[in-house]
A and B are shown apart, each in its own frame.
Chain A
Amino acid sequence: MTAVLSAREVASKLDKKFPGSIVESTENHILVKSESLLPIASFLKTEPEFAFDYLAFIAAVDYNDYFEVVYHLTSLEHNHSVVVKTRCYGRENLSLPSVVGLWRGADFQEREIYDLFGIKFEGHPNLKHIVLWEGFKGYPLRKDYIQW
């Protein structure tokens, strides 16, 4: 069985290393500040205790007040997983750091989120439309998107 690591315990370890970067942690997920996402992700990937070498997927959710981006991380070595979340507030000029440098698997997924939610990923090597056509107006997966 893939062990789901207690997010609270992981968060307390992260908090020692990166003080003030954790917004909240429940049993199931860790919510981190968007500016400290990259160092935390890098730490989770390289630290031998965690060794999250495999990014299962990234998904964005529109909660009207904010957008939440969910990173499901898995370690093939230890067979355990954890969920890291981050938020970006507002509706315009949204941006998050890109994790493509750590997990290349994020490449198409970040492009998809950019395409359908309008969140820019800083540092992505090729951020452009992926499923919609060039010049498409609006972001269809947002809750306030109106067709036509």
Chain B
Amino acid sequence: MVIKTEPFVINIGPAHPSTHGVFRMRTTLDGEVVVDLEPVFGYLHRGIEKLAEERTYTQNIPFTDRLDYLASMSNNLAYVMAVEKLAGIPAPERAEYLRVIMAELQRLASHLIAVGAFLNDCGAFMTPILYMLREREKILDLFEMVSGQRLTYNYMRIGGVSQDIPKEFLPALRKFVEGMPGFIDEYDQLLAENEILLARSKGVGILSKEQAINISAAGPVLRGSGVKWDIRKADPYSVYDRFEFEIPTGSAGDCYDRYRVRVEEMRQSVRIIKQAMEQLPLGEVRALVPQRLHPPVGEAYGRIEAPKGELGFYLVSDNSIAPYRFHIRAPSLMNLTALRDMIVGWKLADLIIIFGSIDICMGEVDR
């Protein structure tokens, strides 16, 4: 006997533990199979692009903390680099090294959350993520040392960083980078070949290379699909051209590859931090910048490789003290475009994993 079933619409979110924020997926199901999906967002829209037009360039730095709140340092860096490009202000060398150290620590912290939350979504409830949070805590302690904050650091400044590192910082950082590779190995040994993880994520939610490029995907989502594209190598900013590191890529473009790329990137970040610590020069950490900075008429696009992908700020100046236009190129928003393609045809239970593998942050999507 053939049972006739009708497509069934189900709302996942906006407040659902696995949507990683206030995000809604309007899902059409045929039995258990997802036949259509529409992402609905905007619940966290604060109009940062509009607010920024009424504040000075320096006053806008704390706003950028609140975009991708799991990677505030990276957001700060992308924004101040765009302003520096617009106004033609070079940052001192020591500041550039500190920026690289902070950005790479931030990448570690963000990826720890990403892989921890991903395993949470896979069904390894809470155990892996607590180990990740333990390690992330050490990074937050380091950030607290330099900026006094644990989430919204507001550490970068136009023309440098807000203050030099305290004398306790480097010993603590050295201790951290010596312990971190061991932690990644230990954790990788436990999870990389884990049967549950393999069964649930291998071959699931495939995003082809062509699709990934076409939807402007960035970061681990793009590299997981086998595209060797990392702004740190492709268009080196700050002092990234002075360090040796690899760009890990996946091959199949499935959830497992995206997960692997993040784990490998963590190893590379530790490598970069080690080199930056060795090379760290002495000197000033902040260039002299006028208090009422008014860059010449023009526009600039500054971009960095944030943990989630290409993060850029497109600024237009009309020679006043506030930006005329402040546009944020948020990697999470672009990566979300791929969601429908990846999920359609998979079961409802896979939806959560595929969504978790993108690693989005709603603060950045809605702005």
A residues within 8 Å of B by Cβ?
Answer: 1-2, 53-57, 59, 61-62, 70, 72, 76, 79, 103-109, 116, 129-133, 140-141
Contacts and interface: CB of A to CB of B under 8 A. Distances in A.
A130 B41 contact: yes
Nearest to B338: A104
A88 B104 CA distance: 42
B42 A132 contact: yes
Given A76-B227, A79-B234, 7 more contacts: A56-B329, A59-B314, A70-B314, A104-B211, A104-B215, A129-B42, A131-B41
A61 B42 contact: no
Leading 8 A-B pairs by shortest Cβ distance: A105-B216, A131-B42, A2-B235, A59-B327, A57-B329, A131-B45, A104-B215, A61-B325
A53 B236 contact: no
Nearest to A140: B50
B interface residue count range (under 10 / 10 to 19 / 20 to 34 / 35 or more): 20 to 34
Given A1-B236, A129-B42, A53 B213 contact: yes
Contact of B312 (A53, A56, A140, A141): A56
Nearest to A76: B229
A1 B241 CA distance: 10
B93 interface: no
A58 B42 CA distance: 18
8 contacts: A1-B236, A56-B329, A59-B314, A59-B329, A61-B316, A70-B314, A76-B229, A104-B214
Given A72-B301, A76-B227, A104-B215, A57 B312 contact: yes
Contacts of B312: 56-57
A55 B236 contact: no
Contacts, number: 74
B337 interface: yes
B42 A2 contact: no
A54 B222 CA distance: 11
A129 B366 CA distance: 12
Interface centre among A79, A108, A132 (most CB of B within 10 A): A108
Nearest to B217: A105
B50 A141 contact: yes
A132 B333 contact: no
A107 B341 CA distance: 13
A135 B324 CA distance: 27
Contacts of B214: 53, 103-105
Nearest to A53: B213
Given A131-B42, A131-B366, A140-B47, A61 B329 contact: no
B339 to A, nearest CB: 10
Contacts of B42: 129-133
Q: Which of A2, A61, A105, A109 has the most CB of B within 10 A?
A: A105
A56 B234 contact: no
Interface string B150-163: 00000000000000
Given A57-B329, A132-B45, A108 B337 contact: yes
B253 to A, nearest CB: 15
